[in-house]
Amino acid sequence: MTVVAWDGRYLAVDRAATVNGLRKRCQKVARSSNGTLVAMVGDLDQLGPYLHWARQWPPDPAEFPGSTDRERCSTAVFAPAHEWHGKVCFTESNGYPIPAIGPFNAWGSGKELAIGAMAGGFGAVPAALIACRHEVGCGFGVDIFDLGQREPSDQWMDVSTYCDFVGTDSPDSILIRQLMAESLEDWK
C-alpha cells in the first residue's frame, strides 16, 4: 500500500503504512551505508534487510533478503549513489536489480494513478499526491528526493520547496495547490 513515483529526476514516496488494519505515518525511504537510496513497496519490515543488502552496489542476488513468496513479496526501488547517478532500478522476488526504463515509472498500489498523471505531463511529486488523494492505501503526503543532484543528499524537500523550485506558476505547482485545497475541503 504505497506509491513510489519517479519522473527521471524526482523520486516521490508516500508516507502511509497499514499496521494491524490502521493507517500510520511512516518514512519508507532510507539511505544505505554506501549512499544508495532505498524506497520500499510492500512489507515495511523488509526495509532494514534491504538497506543492509544494498550496502554493496550492485548487491549480490545470492544474499537477497526478500521473500520469494509472491503473497509477501516486497519491491525495493533503488537509486544508487555512484555509477548509476540519476538512475533508478528495482527488485522483486529474485534479488536482481532491474533498470527502470522510460521517462517515468511508478510502483505500489498507487502506481496506475501516478503513471497516468505522469503520462499526462505532470511530474512525480503531483503524481504521487494524486495517488495519495485517490488510492486508499496511500497518504500522509510525500517524501521528495532530487536525484538530479551530483552528490548524494539526505536533504528532503517538502512540497512547498518543490513548488518554489519548479516555479509557482508551473502546471505541477498549480495541480498541487488544487489537491491541497481539496484535501482541506474534506476536513470541513
Cα dihedral 174→175→179→184 (10° resolution): 10
**24-75 confidence digits (pLDDT tens):** 888 888 887 777 788 888 777 777 787 788 777 777 888 888 665 555 557 7
Reported as type and span, the H/E element at residue 71 is: none
Higher pLDDT, 1 or 140: 140
Provide the edge-to-edge strand list for the sheet that holds 142-146. 105-107, 4-6, 10-14, 142-146
CA distance linking residue 13 with residue 105, whole number of Å: 12
Mean pLDDT of the chain, nearest integer = 81
pLDDT over threshold 70, residue 150: no
**113-140 confidence digits (pLDDT tens):** 999 999 999 999 999 999 999 999 899 9
Q: How confident is the model at residue 13 (pLDDT cuts 50, 70, 90)?
A: very high
Q: What is the mean pLDDT of residues 152-166?
A: 71
Owner of C-alpha cell 544474499: 63
φ/ψ (deg, to 5) at 134: -115, -15
Q: What is the pTM of this model?
A: 0.83
Task: Find all residues with CB under 8 Å of 131, minimum gap 6, and list them.
Answer: 3, 5, 14, 106, 108, 110, 111, 113, 114, 117, 138
**What cell numbers appear for 72 in the block?**
509477501
Superfamily of domain 4-186: Aminohydrolase, N-terminal nucleophile (Ntn) domain (3.60.20.10)
